[in-house]
Amino acid sequence: MLELKNISYSVVERDNVKTILNDISCVFDDYSITAITGHNGSGKSTLTKIIMGIIQPTQGKIYFNNIDITDMPIDERAKLGINYAFQQPITFKGITVKDLIDMASNSENSVSNACDYLSRVGICAKDYINRDFDKTLSGGEQKRIELALALAKKGKCIIFDEPEAGIDLWSFDRLSEIFDKDKLYIIVSHQERLLKRADKIMVLENGRLVTYDTAGKVLNELNKMKCRKNIGGIDEIR
Amino acid sequence: MKLDNISRQLLEKIANLHEIPSGAVSFRKDGKSQVMRSTKNIEIFPKEDKSGIDIVIHSSCKGEACHIPVIVSENGLFDLAYNDFYIEEGAQVTIVAGCGVHSTDKSGHDGIHTFHLGKNAVVNYIENHLAIGTGKGKVMNPTTIIKMEQGSQMTMTTTQIGGVDYSNRITKAILKKDAVLNINEKIMTSGFNVAKTDFKVILQGENSKCDIVSRSVARGESEQIFKSNIVGKNLCFGHVECDGILLDAARIDSIPRVSAVNNQASLSHEAAIGRIAGEQIVKLMTLGLTKEEAERKIIEGFLK
């Protein structure tokens, strides 16, 4: 179980304090899928980066399986079982796809094992396994490999920041099947098909948590409110 | 031949050798030839007018290897050797060179290598440099001159592994029609090391090609200066890429230059120098690596 208590995050911008997240408290259940949605700049990615430890909150506490991880560095959170797939994958010179899979799984994988992870995200593994994870790969290829790394990590909680970004919608339908209920998935997304796969949906607006309930209720609420103007990407949600 | 511990240690690092290998070999230590062995396809002769060797790779050589390591372990010795390679038409050879210096004082090695590649000859040239020992003043100045006839190909992989206080690496090449030259250079400096690199490649022949990739890591207060100049004199393709990672208070100057003197020449260069990207460290930390482990993996990969 992952619990956020009164999480706030502010930055100083041109001598003014700008609040990015404001007093967020919530519980993410094990073995479930939670989608976080909201318009651009609502604080979705910031919230997930705070969970991973990439950003430190200005205020509040984070508990993972009742352990206070608020001040824990990224690698220790990763060892506890929290994993993160970036919206924009980070590339490297001289580090191969297999190197990264080995690092993610903390073991030397056989080529066959490593290929399995890539196959699950729909790419022909043998063509990629020994390639450098660098900018010679297309954005879509990088993104699929990023998702494969998250799967290889075998954590208890995987955070995906806009997993559909850069992947064509036709193949993303099949790809979305990787989000199962074998662990806690936290997915930042605007995509209706992903929101519908979720057990719960959290809606953020201007850094505040405005709704957090079962997916059915939240989707109904969004439809009733006709909040096209309020929630970015609502066209996609509908 | 029985190797002493220092020689064994250096040979392992510079040539991945645990003993004197079979086949064509010239092993030079402290300015003197220790082993010189030819084969049917690769003949090695000592020079008569100066220090060094002539190596003739016959056309019949198809994939054979030739090892020519050098070790300097005598304090105060500055070894100078002229090695000339004559690679006959159609020959295919791997040449493993390299120099290891162990010194508690000043010492060094200057290797002047000249390659004459015949038509359609193919050369894989590997050269590693390493210095160990407490001496401050371990110097290596390798000069490589490459003359490439029509259709010949050469891949040159040079690595300065570490410990060299001062190096000035000069490479000059001239390529005729359809010749292809690929150069991969890796340099690691630390402390107060100074490493200079200077490439000049003339693409003289039609459809000649050259690709230079230099990757370097500079630590401590070390200094690296990378210069390159590719001159296109025909319909040709040239590219130079210099990437450097800076750590601590180190400094890297990169001066890539391309000169097209023919309007069909296609030449390009790129250079990127900076610290390890913070986002790369963060990514590897999300996979469970500590910050130090992440930095090490990034550098290992970069210099691979």
Nearest to A54 among B282, B290, B301 (CB): B282
Q: What is the Cα–Cα distance from A78 to B294, expressed in whole angstroms? A: 13
| Residue range B264-275: mean pLDDT, rounded | 94
Cα–Cα distances (Å) from B125 to A198, B70, B96, B122, B205, in that order, read: 57, 15, 6, 10, 22
In a domain, A68, yes or no: yes
Q: What is the Cα–Cα distance from A21 to A106, expressed in whole angstroms? A: 34
pLDDT tens digits, residue range A115-146?
Answer: 888 888 888 778 888 999 999 999 989 999 99
The pLDDT of residue A223: 77
DSSP assignment letter at A96: B
- B45 interfacial to chain A (CB closer than 8 Å): no
Range of the domain at A50: 1-75+195-238
DSSP assignment letter at A42: S
Q: What is the Cα–Cα distance from B247 to B252, expressed in whole angstroms? A: 10
ipTM entry: 0.91
Nearest to A95 among B277, B279, B301 (CB): B301
Contacts of A73 in chain B (CB under 8 A): 285, 291
The pLDDT of residue A226: 56
Contacts of B215 in chain A (CB under 8 A): 93-94
In a domain, A38, yes or no: yes
CA distance B280 to chain A (A): 6
In a domain, A214, yes or no: yes
Residue B273 vs residue A126, higher pLDDT? B273
Residues 26-65 of A with CB under 8 A from B: 52, 54
In a domain, A32, yes or no: yes
- B271 interfacial to chain A (CB closer than 8 Å): no
Q: What is the Cα–Cα distance from B63 to A196, expressed in whole angstroms? A: 61
- Relative to beta strand B180-189, strand B153-162 is parallel
Instruction: Give the whole-number percent of chain B exceeding pLDDT 90.
Output: 86
Q: Do A86 and B283 touch (CB under 8 A)?
A: yes
Residues forming beta bridges with residue B7, ordered by sequence position: none
| Residue range B69-81: mean pLDDT, rounded | 92
3-state secondary structure of A115: helix
- How many CB atoms sit inside 10 A of residue B268's CB? 12
In a domain, A89, yes or no: no
In chain A, which residue's Cα lies nearest the Cα of B289?
A75
Cα–Cα distances (Å) from A219 to A196, B13, B110, in that order, read: 8, 63, 74
Specify the number of domains making up chain A.
1
A114-148 burial, b for 16+ CB within 10 Å, e for fewer?
bbbbbebbbbebeebbeebbeeebeebbbbbbbbb
pLDDT tens digits, residue range B171-217?
Answer: 999 999 999 999 999 999 999 999 999 999 999 999 999 999 999 99
| H/E run at residue B158 | strand B153-162
| CB-CB contact of A46 with A18 (8 Å) | no
Asked if residue B111 has pLDDT above 60, the reply is yes
Nearest to B282 among A74, A79, A99 (CB): A74
Confidence class for position A191, pLDDT limits 50, 70, 90: confident
- B48 interfacial to chain A (CB closer than 8 Å): no
Q: Please calculate the CA angle B90-B112-B223 and round it to the nearest 5 degrees.
A: 115
Q: How far apart are the first and last CA of chain B?
A: 32
- How many CB atoms sit inside 10 A of residue B47's CB? 13
Asked if residue B103 has pLDDT above 50, the reply is yes
Amino acid present at B11 = L
CATH number at residue A44: 3.40.50.300
Give the distance, in angstroms, between the CA of residue B59 and the centroid of all CA atoms in the same chain: 25
| Backbone torsion region of residue B251, taken as left when φ is above 0, otherwise alpha when ψ lies between -120 and 50, otherwise beta | beta
The pLDDT of residue A225: 67
Confidence class for position B166, pLDDT limits 50, 70, 90: very high
3-state secondary structure of A97: helix
Which of B283, B289, B296 is the best residue to mutate to test the A interface, defined by the most A CB atoms within 10 Å of its own CB?
A: B283
Please give the biggest Cα pair distance in chain B. 62
- B213 interfacial to chain A (CB closer than 8 Å): no
Q: Do B284 and A52 touch (CB under 8 A)?
A: no
- B279 interfacial to chain A (CB closer than 8 Å): yes
pLDDT tens digits, residue range B125-156?
Answer: 999 999 998 888 999 999 999 999 999 999 99
Q: Do B288 and A79 touch (CB under 8 A)?
A: yes
pLDDT tens digits, residue range B218-231?
Answer: 999 999 999 999 99
Asked if residue A233 has pLDDT above 50, the reply is no
In a domain, A113, yes or no: no
- Relative to beta strand A82-85, strand B143-148 is unpaired
In a domain, A57, yes or no: yes
Half-sphere exposure of B292 (CA within 13 A, CB side): 0
| CB-CB contact of B39 with B27 (8 Å) | no
Q: What is the Cα–Cα distance from B298 to A33, expressed in whole angstroms? A: 33
Q: Do B282 and A99 touch (CB under 8 A)?
A: no
Q: Do B298 and A95 touch (CB under 8 A)?
A: yes
